[in-house]
């Protein structure tokens, strides 16, 4: 039999020989990849990985495996059905079975009767693949249906009809049976009818496709509901894609479309036509795409909705609720309200704080908490390792109570300050000894272990570099009552040295230092690890950053505020920070001190992905480039806060952490947009500033039915110059927020287009 083989799914296909086939079965690479998949499955089954994470690992690993195209060869080398030369072989998969070897033991006695030439365990180790000879005169789908009947399998994978379908090869130990002589015996493909010929054969009663299929292939739509339980089908499809590992690669589209349709039939009344109007083609030919949908709808199903579909709907509902909250929060003149339920550590740290100041304290404590972490990293969703680099500025009016953050920070830093005092005494004694000796006397070297983490920004660049070198990769920390104390680090001719330090402090793997020739001078190259708190009035803070609005510092700093109170408001009263407070705080600090290495917090990574998508969705509606740009690093900051809390709570996660971190991100973005939004837009050279410092939902500002020109005028009125009108409207239409309402024509010329807000949008935002 002539079938194809290739190094991987993207490599050109060549005719397989026994030598090539055996070489790949014995390949160390194949063995290593399949071991990697098996290990990931074992971790998943033991609870160490979620099923979705395992599927992602498996999909990525399989791309490194060689493939066989048992159904056909391809003279051009490209796996295209139009170029396929049938091999006379067919694939039959038995998926998701607990013991493939036991299943083969049942089938093995009939292998000659069934024409099975190869049987092997699939790379996932959860399936059995059979390669068999197509019965005389049968098409590929007929052959697979025949095998299903022979095995009594009512739920067989009908998607393997595709001649271009590839089969991932496995190590020899996964092979349960192979008849090499028969597998490579000569075969004449003329006796095989193509699938297309058989389906169009008059004897089968299929001279013409039915009207439904013709309409689907022409792309004509019927009127079906746009939502399921108030959730847009477009959102359901996107979320289901995410649950299934993302959109398919070329070569695996049929199987993906079939699986998607199998799930969607539960919310589309088993209607292939309905599914076809919500499910993308993913680049597949429409006839093959629709056949996969119909195959999915024709297979038997259980009455109970699959778990993955239930989880998809729950995620969609949750995201809708979250987006409603974002929409309400970002467009108001007051920062988002703090959650009622708080993580235990945050609840403790604000317990002595008047309610008015609690949001500010809840943000300001993180630089001090993170300073206790040493040689501890967290992997963000872009696969970059971050340390907990956190910087906070409290911007509020004069006399507003900015000192509220002092006592919580004092108690968090108590253990570090105690060690610093001892090392400051050691350093002072050493300096006295050095000064007491003459120039020619032997002088004692600088003592080792002089870790002094809390520093005063009013120091020379050499002192700053020396402190970083002494810290042995620990964080330095500073608390500044006024932001302009940071100017003490302006220790060179570079007028923006302090802003460079702010940026470098946040960036992983940064390098900073100085080189001097003097024997007593400091010559060190270090990584800046510098967490800090600062306070300032709103006007001073805005002035301080006015020349570096788009240079990076604002993106990397976490901001908080204290709302202005009415004149004559009663003075807030603090609680007492006693020994019991310190005793309750100590376990959290101890856990932070003890952490080491790369800490994996899957819940924080999952939350970060959701937050990124929520930010992107709001940016699409508001068309605010400033909001989008600020949101990128703001989400990293929120992720790092989540990781600090996760470690402090003994590597445990609960709903209070998620609620707090989401609120923290919204609050931070509100502050940045409120204090700097207009100024950043001006610095970005917009023709005129936005009328609103915080971004607004532009679609909400348009009538239910609006014209393209009205949308353009609105963009101009609010000062949006980035992007373009067509892109905005296309984005809204893609998200299911608007539909084309009609076109006003003069003779055959389109005068202007009209759009209408969809029910989907009105239910979410109307």
Tokens representing 534?
A: 């600062």
Helix, coil or strand: residue 137: coil
Distance from chain centroid for Cα 257: 23
Among residues 312, 333, 368, the one where a domain terminates is 312
Q: What's the pLDDT band for 373 if we cut at 50, 70, 90?
A: very high
CATH number (domain holding residue 744): 1.10.10
In a domain, 147, yes or no: yes
Residues 704 and 731 in one domain: yes
* pTM, two decimal places: 0.54
Pairwise CA distance, residues 708 & 240, whole Å? 32
pLDDT tens-digit readout, 93-130: 888 887 889 899 989 989 988 999 999 999 988 899 99
Residues 231 and 160 in one domain: no
Residues 272 and 170 in one domain: no
Residues 83 and 25 in one domain: yes
Q: What's the pLDDT band for 558 if we cut at 50, 70, 90?
A: very high
In a domain, 616, yes or no: no
What residues make up the domain containing 187? 4-201
Contact 543, 535 (CB under 8 A): no
Identify which of 321, 319, 324, 328 has the alpha carbon closest to the alpha carbon of residue 696: 328
In a domain, 63, yes or no: yes
pLDDT of 35 > 70? The answer is yes
In a domain, 563, yes or no: no
Selected residue with higher pLDDT from 112 and 360: 360
* DSSP state, residue 141: H
Tokens representing 615?
A: 């930010």
Describe the crossing of helices 655-683 and 625-648 by its angle, rounded to 10 degrees: 150
Residues 87 and 134 in one domain: yes
- Bridge partners, 477 (sequence order): 454, 531
DSSP string, 46-109: TTSS-HHHHHHHHHHHHTTS-EEETTEE-TTSS--GGG-EE-SEEEEEE-S-S-HHHHHHHHHT
Contact 765, 327 (CB under 8 A): yes
Residues 14 and 61 in one domain: yes
Selected residue with higher pLDDT from 366 and 494: 366
Q: Give the per-residue pLDDT at 192.
A: 36
pLDDT of 688 > 70? The answer is no
Residue with tokens 């935002």: 765
Averaged pLDDT of the chain: 83
Give, in degrees to the nearest 5, the angle at Cα 458 between 452 and 464.
45
Instruction: Determine the number of helices (DSSP H) and then strands (DSSP E) in the chain.
Output: 30, 24
- What Cα–Cα distance (Å) separates residue 368 from each residue in 343, 454, 478, 671? 17, 10, 9, 21
- What Cα–Cα distance (Å) separates residue 46 from each residue in 16, 27, 601? 39, 29, 17
Residues 304 and 197 in one domain: no
Residues 196 and 129 in one domain: yes
pLDDT tens-digit readout, 693-727: 567 788 887 877 777 777 877 777 777 765 677 77
In a domain, 321, yes or no: no
Identify which of 78, 36, 80 has the alpha carbon closest to the alpha carbon of residue 54: 36
Helix, coil or strand: residue 754: strand
Selected residue with higher pLDDT from 119 and 448: 119
- Domain total for the chain? 3
Residues 184 and 54 in one domain: yes
In a domain, 357, yes or no: no
Contact 608, 657 (CB under 8 A): no
Among residues 312, 334, 353, the one where a domain terminates is 312
Residues 256 and 176 in one domain: no
Residues 114 and 232 in one domain: no
pLDDT tens-digit readout, 394-434: 999 888 889 999 999 999 999 999 999 999 999 888 888 87
Pairwise CA distance, residues 702 & 715, whole Å? 11
Percent of the chain with pLDDT over 90: 39
User: Among positive and negative, which fits the CA dihedral 241, 245, 251, 257?
Assistant: negative
Tokens representing 323?
A: 């987006």
In a domain, 554, yes or no: no
Among residues 201, 226, 255, the one where a domain terminates is 201
Q: What's the pLDDT band for 517 if we cut at 50, 70, 90?
A: very low
Residues 138 and 238 in one domain: no
Tokens representing 741?
A: 């309402």
Secondary structure string (H, E, C) spanning 481-540: CCHHHHHHHCCCCCCCHHHHHHHHHHCCCCCEEECCCCCCCCCEEECCCEEEEEEECHHH
- Bridge partners, 378 (sequence order): 386, 599
pLDDT of 533 > 50? The answer is yes
- Average pLDDT, stretch 616-643? 88
Give, in degrees to the nearest 5, the angle at Cα 438 between 435 and 441.
110
In a domain, 76, yes or no: yes
Contact 187, 1 (CB under 8 A): yes
Q: Give the per-residue pLDDT at 6.
A: 93
pLDDT tens-digit readout, 246-303: 778 767 788 889 999 999 999 998 888 889 888 988 878 888 888 899 888 887 777 7
């Amino acid at each position: 039999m002539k079938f194809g083989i290739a190094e991987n799914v993207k490599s050109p296909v060549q005719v397989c020989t026994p030598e090539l086939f055996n070489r790949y079965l014995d390949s160390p690479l194949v063995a290593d990849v399949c071991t990697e998949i098996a290990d990931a499955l074992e971790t998943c089954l033991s609870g160490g990985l979620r099923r979705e994470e395992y599927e992602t690992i498996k999909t990525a690993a399989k791309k490194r495996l060689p493939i066989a195209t048992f159904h056909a060869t391809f003279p051009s080398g490209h796996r295209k059905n139009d170029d396929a030369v049938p091999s006379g072989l067919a694939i039959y998969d038995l998926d998701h079975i607990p013991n493939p070897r036991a299943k083969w033991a049942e089938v093995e006695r009939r292998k000659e009767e069934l024409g099975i030439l190869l049987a092997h365990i699939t790379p996932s180790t959860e399936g059995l693949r059979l390669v068999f000879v197509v019965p005389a005169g049968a098409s590929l789908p007929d052959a697979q249906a025949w095998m299903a009947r022979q095995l009594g399998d009512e739920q067989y994978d009908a998607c393997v009809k595709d001649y271009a379908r590839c089969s991932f090869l496995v190590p020899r130990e996964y092979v349960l049976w192979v008849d090499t002589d028969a597998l490579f015996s000569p075969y004449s493909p003329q006796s095989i009818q193509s699938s297309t010929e058989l389906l169009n054969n008059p004897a089968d009663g299929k001279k013409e496709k039915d009207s439904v299929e013709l309409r689907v292939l022409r792309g004509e739509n019927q009127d079906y509901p746009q939502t399921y339980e108030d959730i847009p089908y477009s959102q359901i499809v996107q979320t289901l894609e995410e649950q299934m590992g993302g959109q398919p690669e070329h070569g695996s589209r049929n199987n993906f479309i079939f699986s998607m349709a199998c799930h969607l039939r539960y919310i589309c009344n088993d209607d292939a036509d309905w599914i076809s109007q919500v499910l993308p083609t993913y680049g597949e030919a429409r006839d093959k795409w629709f056949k996969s949908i119909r195959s999915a709808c024709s297979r038997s199903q259980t009455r109970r909705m699959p778990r993955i579909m239930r989880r998809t709907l729950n995620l969609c509902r949750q995201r809708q609720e979250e987006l409603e909250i974002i929409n309400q929060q970002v467009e108001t003149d007051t920062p988002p309200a703090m959650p009622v339920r708080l993580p235990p550590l945050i609840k403790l740290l604000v317990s002595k704080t008047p309610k008015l100041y609690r949001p500010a304290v809840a943000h300001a404590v993180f630089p001090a908490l993170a300073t206790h972490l040493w040689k501890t990293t967290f992997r963000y969703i872009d696969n970059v390792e971050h340390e907990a680099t956190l910087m906070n500025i409290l911007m509020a009016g004069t006399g507003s109570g900015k000192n509220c953050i002092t006592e919580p920070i004092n108690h968090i830093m108590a253990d570090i300050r105690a060690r610093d005092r001892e090392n400051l005494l050691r350093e002072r004694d050493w300096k006295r000894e050095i000064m007491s000796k003459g120039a020619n006397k032997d002088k004692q070297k600088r003592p080792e272990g002089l870790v002094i983490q809390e520093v005063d920004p009013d120091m020379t660049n050499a002192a700053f570099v020396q402190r970083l070198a002494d810290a042995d990769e620990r964080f330095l920390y500073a608390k500044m009552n006024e932001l302009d104390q940071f100017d003490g680090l302006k220790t060179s001719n570079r007028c923006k040295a302090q802003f460079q330090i702010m940026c470098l402090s946040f960036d992983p793997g940064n390098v900073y230092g100085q080189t001097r020739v003097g024997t007593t001078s400091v010559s060190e190259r270090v990584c800046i690890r510098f967490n800090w708190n600062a306070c300032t009035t709103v006007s001073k803070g805005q002035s301080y950053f006015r020349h570096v609005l788009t240079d990076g510092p604002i993106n990397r700093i976490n901001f908080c505020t204290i709302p202005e109170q009415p004149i004559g408001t009663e003075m807030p009263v603090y609680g007492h920070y006693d020994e019991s407070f310190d005793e309750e705080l100590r376990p959290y600090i101890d856990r932070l001190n003890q952490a080491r290495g790369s800490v994996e917090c899957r819940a924080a990574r999952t939350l970060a992905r959701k937050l990124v998508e929520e930010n992107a969705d709001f940016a699409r509606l508001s068309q605010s480039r400033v909001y989008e740009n600020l949101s990128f690093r703001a989400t990293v900051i929120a992720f790092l806060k989540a990781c600090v809390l996760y470690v402090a709570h003994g590597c445990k996660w609960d709903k209070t952490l998620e609620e707090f971190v989401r609120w923290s991100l919204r609050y931070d973005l509100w502050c940045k947009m409120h204090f700097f939004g207009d100024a950043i837009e001006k610095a970005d050279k917009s023709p005129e500033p936005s009328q609103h410092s915080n971004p607004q939902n532009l679609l909400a500002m348009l009538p239910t039915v609006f014209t393209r020109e009205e949308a353009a005028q609105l963009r101009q009125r609010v000062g949006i110059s980035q992007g373009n009108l067509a892109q905005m409207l296309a984005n809204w239409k893609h998200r299911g927020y608007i539909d084309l309402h009609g076109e006003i024509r003069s003779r055959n010329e389109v005068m202007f287009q009209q759009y209408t807000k969809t029910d989907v949008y009105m239910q979410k935002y109307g």
